[in-house]
Amino acid sequence: AQKVTQAQTEISVVEKEDVTLDCVYETRDTTYYLFWYKQPPSGELVFLIRRNSFDEQNEISGRYSWNFQKSTSSFNFTITASQVVDSAVYFCALSEAEQAGTALIFGKGTTLSVSS
């Protein structure tokens, strides 16, 4: 069965600290997609990254980086030098890819609070 686990419910850091959000997934498929979304207080989910199961290269985008490890079924997200604007709920999601556009399975989210 598909499942996404975000064990960290809440994380609090002080500005400029680095923070890593953990994501562990379960799937029987060999082809799947992993996502991270940010949900600010306004409610909309903001797309951050998509990674397919055949691409294990880590990715860096500005202060954001992602570490995908199939061996441990993890897709962790690191924010370097955190800022107050990073405060939000972050969701990891999984999509099994037998056909395009299948449903996203979300974790319960991690609430990140960055104080100044």
Residues near another protein (CB under 8 A): 4, 33, 35, 37, 42-47, 50, 52, 91, 93, 95, 97, 99-109
Question: How far apart are CB 39 and another protein at their closest, in Å?
Answer: 9
Who's near 99: CB < 8 A, 6+ residues apart?
none
Question: How far apart are CB 59 and another protein at their closest, in Å?
Answer: 14
For another protein, the closer CB: 17 or 73: 73
Residues β-bridged to residue 76 = 67
Question: How far apart are CB 105 and another protein at their closest, in Å?
Answer: 7
For another protein, the closer CB: 43 or 116: 43
Query: What does 39-72 look like in DSSP terms, one character per residue?
Result: E-TT-PPEEEEEEETT----EEETTEEEEEEGGG
Question: How far apart are CB 47 and another protein at their closest, in Å?
Answer: 4
Q: Do 4 and 110 contact (CB within 8 A), yes or no? A: no
For another protein, the closer CB: 16 or 108: 108
Torsion of CA 81, 47, 42, 106, to 10 degrees: -100
